[in-house]
A and B are shown apart, each in its own frame.
Chain A
Amino acid sequence: MSRYLIHRLALSSVAMLGVITIVFILLHVSGDPASLLVTQNATVEDMERIRQAYGLDRPLSVQYARFIGRVVRGDLGYSYRQGLPVTELIFDRIGATFKLALASLAVAIVLGVALGMAAAVRRGSVVDTMAMTAALLGTSMPSFWFGLLLIIVFGVKLGWLPVSGYGGLENLVMPALVLGGFYAAQVSRLTRTSLLEVLAQDYIRTGQAKGLRPRTVLFRHALRNAALPVLTVLGLSFGQMLGGAIVVESIFAWPGMGRLAVQAVLGRDFPIVQGVTIVGAAVFLAVNLTVDLIYGWVDPRLRSAAPGT
């Protein structure tokens, strides 16, 4: 298991280096940050001064080497615009990001698994059609549209929920529904397919034949085996949610990492873009690793095979 972990971690570091390098190159060929740091009221001297101050006048290879050297030491640099350490700026938003991602994950699991199960058990019935129509709607509705719709109905017309902003549970309901709803749609379709496949297996028929209660067959035997692919998708989705739900954060004025990243990209604030990418990639890789470990928890067959891998 530990060899497996080390192998995975080594692979992850290579992936990280790849991500960092690609982001660095793309950012530096996409535009001059100095011309955007200043407004049209600025003079050429202002811009030149800024280029020098941030080392943007150095050759790209020197900037890259310095950057990698700092990252290895855990220093993500200072934001061009805000003058604060990038680690501080990311840390300030990570709480909000986790809060939204966890709430959305809960929505995705509850809604997605419930709809998928109902559809699979009542295959071909009205319940199935309705559940899968809901899933289709969930995947195809653009989140900014769904978000604005919720805002108009529950925020403005009914006044039940705050329109936007960061704060208590009531602030979390609409963004979590929009973000989690999107993933719930995918989860429900996958749960349905996966569960139908398992329900057709011989051991399920054996279970039913020996007189087990349908509930026991479904929850203890079928769902448990159908859960593996669902877990993989949930893991990937959670990684994406943590990486920043830009549209949902922007609509609901949620102060998460996605907005930090977008503002930084638009303002060519390279240190922040690089920092968010590194942290995002690290979180994504960590979540995937965790999902792999959860596999063993859910599926004893994998657990017993683990020491040899």
Chain B
Amino acid sequence: MRGRIWKIVALCVGVTLVLTAGSRLTQAQTPRTLVVAQGVDIVTGDPAKSTALGTIAVLANIYDTLIHRDANLRLKPGLALSWRAVDPTTWEFKLRRGVTFHNGEHFNAEAVKFSFDRMLDPATNWPGAGSLRLIKSVSIVDDSTVRITVAQPWPLLPRFLGYYGMIVPPGYLRQGGPEALIRRPVGTGPYRFVNWIKDDRVELEANPAYWGGRPKIDRVVFRVVPTDAPRVAELLAGSVHLAPLLPPELISAVRTSSKLTLSVGKSLSVFFVIYNLVNVPKDKPLADPRVRQALNYAIDRQAILHSVMRNVGAPVSTFCTEVMEGCDSSIPPFSYDPDKARALLREAGYPNGFDFSISGTNGSYPGDRDIVLAVADQLNRVGVRTKVDITEIGVQLQAVLARQLPQDGWFTRFTDFFGISTIIPLRAFYSPGEWSQWRPGYAAFNELVEAAQAAADEARLRDISKRLQAMYKEQAPAITLFGAPNASGMSADLEYTPRPDLQVYVFDASWKRR
């Protein structure tokens, strides 16, 4: 018997060793390899198959868009050297010449037309197609000029193309079939694809022929470390150099380490408790804008940022953050004024408060459960008796979409990666919009949101945005909280600032001289 037990053990160990031998080869890393740890793996190597954050963060290193954005989201030339509106519905892009894809294929106008046609073809099922639905067609003028025709005047097109629209090689796809890019991405970007072990790592190497110059960091490994605490442990052990999107509870571990630095970027996400105003009867407290404002005055945002978010993030005045185009920073946030909150409640006829409930989630957004509990506690202090229901996010979103949320408030986060201040109101507060809980809503607000979408130029857009923000504060369709945290932990010898759009663009990173 003993012999047989040992045989089983020996078999287990033997097979393990054999299986291990192959994977050891991928472990070799030079000291100059940058190791980034994300919580999720890329979903696909094909940019026309996903809009997932963790995927775009990696693919932005492999593929280029026509227009690039710097770390403050200012537009700059990408694969297009310049762009202009020929008429209100036609945009012309002059393309960079002499650029090649990583497989040697030439980049030209045909690649641009092919990429856009493919992205917008319903058969491709690109989840981002809705955002570019105003694009009617892409036509080739000559080898280095394309024109994009849009269905209505769309001055914001370049801003959308600063985030969406990665250009893919047509020849490679024709030869390798429609699934070729999923497994082996090929772009024109600063890094070339080397290897992908699913749920473990994506390895990239610098593209020496990159049109923007050779990247300063030679090799990059994007590792997948799904649990937060080991991700920070990897940083502390020195085996990972950059961990984006740290959860608030682990920020202090990074702050107190002498080997690490905490780098905080600007945010394009806003936390709200959106009021459930679906056909709210006139005699209910939430029907009165004074009540909706009162709850905003009852919240001490700085206290929540301090205790829950470890001082990362800043209160916002309305639906946008300062880095978004057209967001008016002169509008002050709701002050923390419990006396004013009580006075407004009295004025509205609720001197003894009322019962209020919030639907929250746990683990879907950084700090989500703790934020909601803190909000509830602060509302209780001004007499609004608040109950919190924590729900699985799928169940919550389904109720929201069906406009059957049982609670009075929906704790959520809205993000606009295009960086345009009028997009969150369109998604979250425009009454006909799918996520809106403000129904029938406020006609003047809806009209302004529509006007923003049709604004003829950016100056007009800024003006509309300003009016929208003033109206939002006065009508208060939500308890507005603060921007979502965008903090990265990194080795002290790494130079990098987290981007607001959360792309981990390694081209901007470098090692500090020792």
Contacts and interface: CB of A to CB of B under 8 A. Distances in A.
Interface string B392-431: 0011011001000000000010111100000000011000
B127 A37 contact: yes
A35 B394 contact: yes
A40 interface: yes
A97 B415 CA distance: 36
A7 interface: no
B427 A41 contact: yes
B463 interface: no
Interface string B225-249: 1110110011011010000000000
A92 B200 CA distance: 11
A113 B13 CA distance: 17
A163 B230 contact: yes
Interface string B12-41: 110111011001101100000000000010
A89 interface: yes
Interface string A42-55: 11111001100100
A41 B414 CA distance: 8
B226 A250 contact: yes
Given A40-B427, A167-B24, A168-B27, A219 B233 contact: no
A83 B46 CA distance: 9
A50 B12 CA distance: 44
A211 B196 CA distance: 63
B139 interface: no
A82 B225 contact: no
B321 to A, nearest CB: 16
B127 A50 contact: yes
| Contact-residue size bin, chain A (C-beta under 8 Å from the other chain) | 35 or more
A84 B182 contact: yes
Nearest to B416: A41
Contacts of A164: 225, 230, 233-234
B362 to A, nearest CB: 13
Contacts, number: 182
Contact of B16 (A106, A167, A227): A106
B514 interface: no
Contacts of A250: 226-227
Interface residues of B, number: 66
Interface in A189-234: 219-220, 223-224, 227
A96 to B, nearest CB: 8
A134 to B, nearest CB: 19
Contacts of B19: 95, 98-99, 102
A253 B12 contact: no
Among A83, A172, A219, A297, the most chain B Cβ lie within 10 Å of the Cβ of: A83
Contacts of B15: 98-99, 102
Contacts of B284: none
B479 to A, nearest CB: 18
B237 A156 contact: yes
B23 A166 contact: yes
B16 A172 contact: yes
Interface stretch (A63-71, A147-155, A275-283): A147-155
Interface in A281-309: 297-298
A130 B256 CA distance: 39
B12 A81 contact: no
Contacts of B50: 81
A110 interface: yes
Given A166-B23, A168-B23, A255 B237 contact: no
B435 interface: yes
Q: Rank and list the top 6 A-B pairs by shortest CB-CB distance, nearest first.
A: A255-B199, A224-B1, A106-B12, A31-B394, A43-B130, A255-B200
26 contacts: A31-B395, A37-B127, A38-B51, A40-B427, A41-B131, A44-B434, A81-B44, A83-B46, A84-B44, A89-B198, A92-B197, A96-B200, A98-B15, A99-B15, A109-B5, A156-B233, A163-B233, A164-B230, A165-B223, A168-B27, A169-B16, A219-B2, A253-B225, A253-B226, A255-B224, A297-B4
Interface of B: 1-2, 4-5, 8-9, 12-13, 15-17, 19-20, 23-24, 26-27, 40, 43-44, 46, 49-52, 122, 125, 127, 129-131, 133, 179, 182-183, 197-201, 223-227, 229-230, 233-234, 236-237, 239, 394-395, 397-398, 401, 412, 414-417, 427-428, 434-435
